[in-house]
Amino acid sequence: MRHTRSEEAKSPMLRNRARQVTPLTARPMKVFTIGFTKTSAESFFNRLQKAGVKRVIDVRLNNVSQLAGFAKKDDLRYFLKAIGGIAYTHEPMLAPTQEMLDAYKKDGGDWADYERRFLALIAERRIEDIVQRTAVDGACLLCSEDKPAQCHRRLVVEYLQRKWGDIEVAHL
C-alpha cells in the first residue's frame, strides 16, 4: 500500500521519493522509542524531557481511543507542547494495518508472524525513502506497548537503522 503524492504532502514526516544524502562525517541520528501503558503521565513526560526529545512521532494506527487519557491525540499534542515544548506528529505510514493488529491482538496471533508481516508492509511502503531523516533525528516513536520487545515501534526503528545505517536507538 503506497500513499499518493497528495497524501505525502499532508504529512510533515513524508517527502518525495528523492533520497537525502548524509555526509559520511555526520554524527549518528539519535532516535528514541516509548510506550505509554503501565506508566504515569509524570514518568512518561519526565523521560521524554530528560532524553531531550524534540518531537514525538505517534506510530499508532488508532490514536484517539487509548486507555491512558494523556495519550489521546489531542491531549498528547497539548501536553507535549505545554510541558516540554515537544512537537507532535501522527504518522500512520509507520503503523500496521487494522487487519494485522486484529490478527495479532484480538485473535491471539503469533508475534513472529506479526513481525514478518509488518516488516514486509514497511518494506513495501519503502518508509526509508519517504520518511524525512531530519524529522526522525532527535524524535521519539510512540506506541502503546510498555516494552519495545514486542512492539512495532522497535521494528520501525530497527528497519530504518538497517536501511540508513546511522541511527543510535534508545528505548525510554
Q: Which tens digit of pLDDT belongs to each residue from 29-71?
A: 999 999 998 999 999 999 999 999 999 999 999 888 656 678 8
Tell me, yes or no, whether 140 lies in a domain. yes
Tell me, yes or no, whether 45 lies in a domain. yes
Residue 38 C-alpha cell reads as 503501565
CATH of the domain at 55: 3.90.190
Tell me, yes or no, whether 3 lies in a domain. no
pTM of the full predicted structure? 0.82
* 87 Ramachandran zone, left/alpha/beta (phi>0; psi -120 to 50): beta
pLDDT in tens, 62-108: 888 656 678 888 999 999 999 999 999 999 999 999 999 999 988 88
When divided into structural domains, the chain yields a total of 1
Tell me, yes or no, whether 151 lies in a domain. yes
Show the domain range for 120: 28-171
| Count of CA atoms in the C-beta half-sphere (13 A) of 118 | 31
Tell me, yes or no, whether 19 lies in a domain. no
